[in-house]
Amino acid sequence: MRDERITIRVTDDEKKEINLISDKYKMNISQFVYTAVREKIETEKLSESQERFISLFDVAYKKSSDPNFKQLMVVLNRVEFNTRWLLKQQDIFMQHLKVPQTKDELHLSIIDHPITEVAHEEILKDIRKMSARKKNIEDE
């Protein structure tokens, strides 16, 4: 195999800079430029292979996680539907029995208790978090 000569044009300042760096590594200019070009080529090859790996990994991850995610969403939607359905059934049943549905319908005073207030606030926070998560997932 025969070596080929490659000629490049550089300014005097660039040549001085290349010469200083090549002297630092105890190489002549040709060896230094050749080494620098080879390193750049290897870096590009590595970068391209890493990019291909990441894209393949992304495809594989999506293929493996999408069915599970969709199945999980179906289960969560069923749970939410069943919960709402049971609450609605209970509400209709209580109305049928003429059980008071609000504080105003009661004819006795209710004394607020810290535990019931905390529980009420916690349940409202949980419901808000669940609906926010559901909206975020639906937006994606």
| Contacts for 32 with CB less than 8 Å, ≥ 6 apart | 18, 21, 22, 25
What is the total residue count of the chain? Answer: 140
Closest CA to 127 of 87, 94, 90: 87
Average pLDDT over residues 78-85: 89
What pTM value is reported for the model? 0.40
- 78 versus 68: the higher-pLDDT residue is 78
User: Do residues 17 and 2 touch, judged by C-beta distance below 8 A?
Assistant: no
User: Do residues 73 and 65 touch, judged by C-beta distance below 8 A?
Assistant: no
Of 6-15, 24-33, 41-50, 108-117, the poorest mean pLDDT is in: 108-117
How large a percentage of the chain has pLDDT more than 90?
22
- Give the highest mean pLDDT range of 3-7, 25-29, 119-123: 25-29
Average pLDDT over residues 92-115: 68
